[in-house]
Amino acid sequence: MVLRDPVSYFADLASRAVVRGMEELSEEGWRDLVVRGEGETVSVDSDDLSADISLEVPPVEHGDFAFPCFQLTRFFGAPPDNVAFQLFPLLEAPDDLEPPQLAGPYINFAIRSERLVEETLRSALELGDAYGSLADRRTRVVLEHTSANPNGPLHVGRARNPILGDALARVMRMAGYQVTTQYYLNDMGRQVVLLYWGWSHSQGNAPPGGKRDHVVVGHYQRANQLAEEDDGVDAQVREMMARREAGDREAIEPSREPALMGLEGIQESLARLGIHHDQVVSESTFVLDGSVGNVIERLVASEYTVEEEDGALALELESFGVQGRNTKLVFRRKDGTSLYTTRDLAYHIWKDAQGDRLVNVLGEDHKLEARQLQHALDIMDTGVRVEPVFYAFVSLPEGKMSTREGRGVLLDDLMDEAVGRARQDTRERRPELDEATVEGIARAVGLGAVRYNIMRVQPEKSMVFQWEEALNIEGASAPFIQYSHTRACSILRKAEEEGEPARAMDPVEASRALTHPSELTLARHLARLPRTIDRCAEERKVHTLAAYANSLASAFNAFYRDVPVLQAGDLRQARLQMVMASRIALANTLRALGMDAPEQM
């Protein structure tokens, strides 16, 4: 049988050993406990107490799993060290695990090396491209990300949203979720109306042609300046906004054209990074189909609704813990029209029918809005729960790149610069390569560098994009991980050229031959891929997978450094199995992060 997740299989054995020991301990102490073990969790229940205790990952020298006894003090009335001391003699490890070890309040378990190598090789080599993917959970996830205003190109500061959102979607799909990605198109607000006004009044003064989002931003900037200087223009813009927000289809439909042009340009930029959305959902949809009107009716009937001095209606959220000047959430203007918030509520109610879980990737400046949105959904008793993933913004060191006047540094600029630097580096290192090959490597490395350097940092932390870090082939970077993949491919190619390619080998036989510490370390890293995918999906944090990718590449390079492969004699085939498994795991990890896995660099 091929295991999808070797580590979880062995963790389940450790949990079951703990359960049997605790059942015996509870009988000896005349305690009425119900103990269950499943996967990496041991559940303990008594009449008035319950606890779910997860196996932890101890330092490498202490094994693979650690069972902490801290929560058992409530059940046994003794300090955790004492409980562990009483439990330890009652544990009998199965044949696949080494005898357990007592370490203060922890009981540690280690997988027998041969069994770990055997099951890891079997899983990686037989599952291939599917290694790391988990069984279908039959859970639908709607994941919204990017959703930038279509009045101009994406800026570097917001580049984290689509990159994190796309990687999270890839990881959750690998974890067995049925994921639909959505782009919520703002085609109703003032910015869109200004864009339409500038576009429709260009009178031959349109900005020069080019990428469509770069073109429309000129119309927007021109209209915004005129509206600030000319009260007549501002009045026209406000009049059009009122018509559109009141549901006037004749005002809504034509004005969407320049917004769709801007969206097209944004999608072109995202496509360069391998980012695509399954659905684009327009804000205007919920005005035209009456959903927004229904939301307003439900909120008007709420006990939390208050009338502002100017006649607008708002929700009073102070009783929900919202403090300061933000206690009120306006949902209807005095003229009866809706606001962005009202339409967002209608969108989320509709979205809830499309999936079982709703995940939104949002900038840290949207924390208040996300909180207000959830309170409003709760007030309407919708049952809708939103899982926000917040991120801090990206900046660039001054002087590192040129900027477009008035627009700051754009994502397009960042990608061009990254590919250009990778192209120059490839030409210098590999002058024998033809231009097409150089260009392919430059795109893979340059765009991979953009993605990885953003993903590797915990989302809540702000970051400065440093070229030296992003393109460093020896550090925690995309080129370092990608080069490890190319090294594995190169070894396998050379094995074929020498007339003794890697061939199918019994994993049991291979595991008996692979005993070097670097081989065992690499096997442990390979085995952790499915578990890491599962953890990242559950915690909605892709930086954990980015860190895993770097550690996997480091373990593979240490293996290559410490033991010969092609000159290994009788061990050659066994070590080629490790190279094949490593190539598979590296490629699948890069794919989960949305990065190319080049075969040469």
CB 220 within 8 A of CB 152: yes
Does this model's pTM top 0.85? yes
209 pLDDT tier (thresholds 50, 70, 90) = low
Question: What is the average per-residue pLDDT within 323-348?
Answer: 91
208 pLDDT tier (thresholds 50, 70, 90) = low
| Ordered DSSP codes for 304-322 | TEEE-TTS-EEEE-GGGT-
Q: Which of 122-126, 403-407, 415-419 has the lowest mean pLDDT?
A: 403-407
Amino acid at 550: N
Nearest to 155 by CA among 367, 331, 361, 408: 408
The tally of CA atoms less than 13 A away on the side-chain side of residue 147 is 19
CB 418 within 8 A of CB 576: no
Question: What is the average per-residue pLDDT within 322-333?
Answer: 88
431 pLDDT tier (thresholds 50, 70, 90) = very high
Q: Spell 417-450 as b/e; 16+ CB within 10 A means b.
A: bbbebbbebbeeeeeebeeeebeebbbbbbbbbb
CB 268 within 8 A of CB 153: no
Polymer length in residues for the chain? 601
Whether residue 498 has pLDDT greater than 60: yes
Strands (E), 1-130: 34-38, 41-45, 50-54, 65-68, 101-103, 106-109
Helices 113-127/6-28 angle, 10° precision: 140
Q: Which of 199-208, 349-358, 397-406 has the lowest mean pLDDT?
A: 397-406
Judging by DSSP bridges, how do beta strands 106-109 and 140-144 pair with one another?
A: unpaired
484 Cβ partners below 8 Å, 6+ apart?
A: 552, 553, 556, 557, 582, 586
25 pLDDT tier (thresholds 50, 70, 90) = very high
What does the alpha-carbon distance between residue 543 and residue 453 come to, in Å, rounded to a whole number?
10
What was the pLDDT predicted at 203?
54
Query: What percent of the chain has a predicted confidence (pLDDT) above 90?
Result: 75
| Ordered DSSP codes for 426-462 | HHHH-TTS-HHHHHHHHHHHHHHHHHHHHHTS-TTS-
Question: What is the average per-residue pLDDT within 583-588?
Answer: 98
- 231: exposed, middle or buried (C-beta count within 10 Å: 0-12, 13-18, 19+)? exposed
Judging by DSSP bridges, how do beta strands 140-144 and 357-363 pair with one another?
A: parallel
DSSP category for residue 567:
T
Question: What is the average per-residue pLDDT within 352-366?
Answer: 96
Q: Spell 84-113 as b/e; 16+ CB within 10 A means b.
A: bbbbbebbeeeebbeebeebebbbbbbbbb
Q: Is the dihedral of CA 162, 170, 536, 482 positive or negative?
A: negative
Give the count of beta carbons closer than 10 Å to the beta carbon of residue 57: 15
CB 376 within 8 A of CB 233: no
- 357 or 257: which carries more pLDDT confidence? 357
